[in-house]
Amino acid sequence: MKVKFWGTRGSLPVAATAADIRSKIVAALTAANGRQFGSPEEIESFAEQLPFAVAGGYGGHSSCVELIAGGAEHFICDLGSGARPLGQNKIATHGPQRPQTYHVFLSHLHWDHLMGLPFFVPIYLPGNRIVIHGCHAEMEAAVRLQMSEPCFPVAFSQIAASVEFDRLEPGGTYEIAGVRVTPKLQLHHGDSYGYRFEKDGRSFVYSTDSEHKLNNPETAAGFIDFFRAADLVVFDAMYSLADAVSVKADWGHSSNIIGIELCQEAGARRLALFHHEPVHDDAQLDRLLEESRRFEEITRDGRAPLEIISAYDGLTIPL
């Protein structure tokens, strides 16, 4: 199995500004420091040595993550604005005439996790099957509202693909297209749900828009079990720990530090920091990743190392 990130920002999409791009150019030229390059290959080699915040970037789409499970059917977590490039990729790969089945797992019903639906091109192609899974009783109503006046000019009734809604129960385990899926209730306004996916001895946990209270060990134990020995945990690390427990307490999000501690206790193999704060630029996210890795190292306490990455639009991770 593989996981591909199509949108990693929280709360709303963000775009690189002219000032952002200019600062990257200035940083790259400063690092070059008068070097002469004889070919594009030499330039590419030099660029690979630059910090990610200079040579690349985390992207600006809101939450959308694909699980590539190895079967004919597709698995998608959330339909943020990253669903648009995901849909374009599927049409380019499979063509518009070859019907496909898409399983969508909604963490919750806030707009930053639904806004990509009207721009997800496969919904407009006859023969495609879209199965929207989730635990909210209002799931179908919320999805239909996303494509209704005055929210959007194209009505839900104009979707050409067949759309099904599948209500799941948190704590239950379901066999869906050869993958075992277990949803879990999370603390967030209006509730959110994480998902654990398992197949062929590999496991992937998608856990975003979830707040973790430090004074609730019973709840923490439940998430440790949910993350247990996962090959990858995608975790809401929107805030610093100080923000998460003070000025932004009860805002429904978590921090890199809490994600590290839970994954260490769970014996997870890899943690992906996700749902990035929209006001954080690439340099800030680079620093957060560096600080997270240092914190993991000094708190490891004899446990196996936890690999930490910071998710970015376009990143693919084999499990």
Top pLDDT among 195 and 255 is at 195
Alpha-carbon span 208 to 188, nearest angstrom: 10
34 and 180, same structural domain?
no
pLDDT, greater one: 257 or 252: 257
Q: Are 112 and 212 in a shared domain? A: yes
Place of tokens 């791009």: 21
Contact status, residue 172 vs residue 182, Cβ threshold 8 Å: yes
For range 43-58, the mean pLDDT:
92
**pLDDT in the model for residue 244:** 54
Cα–Cα distance between 275 and 8 in angstroms, integer?
Answer: 5
Please tell me whether residues 48 and 11 are part of one structural domain. Answer: no
* 203 lies in the same domain as 171: yes
Per-residue pLDDT band at 123 (split at 50, 70, 90):
very high
For residue 246, pLDDT beyond 70: no
Number of separate domains in the chain: 2
pTM of the complete model: 0.94
Asked whether residue 26 falls in the same domain as residue 73, the answer is: no
Nearest to 84, CA basis, from 313, 315, 277, 317 = 313
Residue 253 is predicted with a pLDDT of 76
Q: How confident is the model at residue 243 (pLDDT cuts 50, 70, 90)?
A: low
Alpha helix segments (H runs only) across the chain: 18-32, 40-48, 52-55, 83-94, 139-146, 217-227, 241-245, 256-266, 282-298
Domain coverage including residue 43: 18-55
User: Helices 217-227 and 256-266: crossing angle, nearest 10°?
Assistant: 70
Range from 37-46, 222-231, 235-244 that averages highest in pLDDT: 222-231
Element (H, E) at 203: strand 202-207
Residues 47 and 192 in one domain: no
Give the CATH number for residue 277.
3.60.15.10
132 shares its domain with 273: yes
Q: Both 40 and 115 in a single domain?
A: no
pLDDT of res. 217? 85
Residue 76 has pLDDT above 80, yes or no: yes
The rounded mean pLDDT for the chain is 93
Q: Is 194 helix (H, G, I), strand (E, B) or coil?
A: strand
**Per-residue confidence at 34, pLDDT binned at 50, 70, 90?**
confident
Q: pLDDT tens digits, residue range 153-179?
A: 999 999 999 999 999 999 999 999 999
Section 60-88 average pLDDT: 97
Task: Specify the 3-state DSSP secondary structure of 219.
Answer: helix
Average pLDDT of the segment spanning 299-313 = 95
Statement to judge: residues 100 and 40 lie in one domain = no
pLDDT at 249 over 70: no
Confidence band (pLDDT; 50, 70, 90) for 46?
A: very high
Claim to verify: residue 257 and residue 238 sit in the same structural domain: yes
64 & 104 share domain: yes
**Residues with Cβ within 8 Å of residue 313, at least 6 apart in sequence:** 5, 6, 7, 8, 58, 59, 60, 61, 82, 85
The pLDDT of residue 267 is above 60: yes
Statement to judge: residues 258 and 128 lie in one domain: yes
211: its two tokens: 């707040």
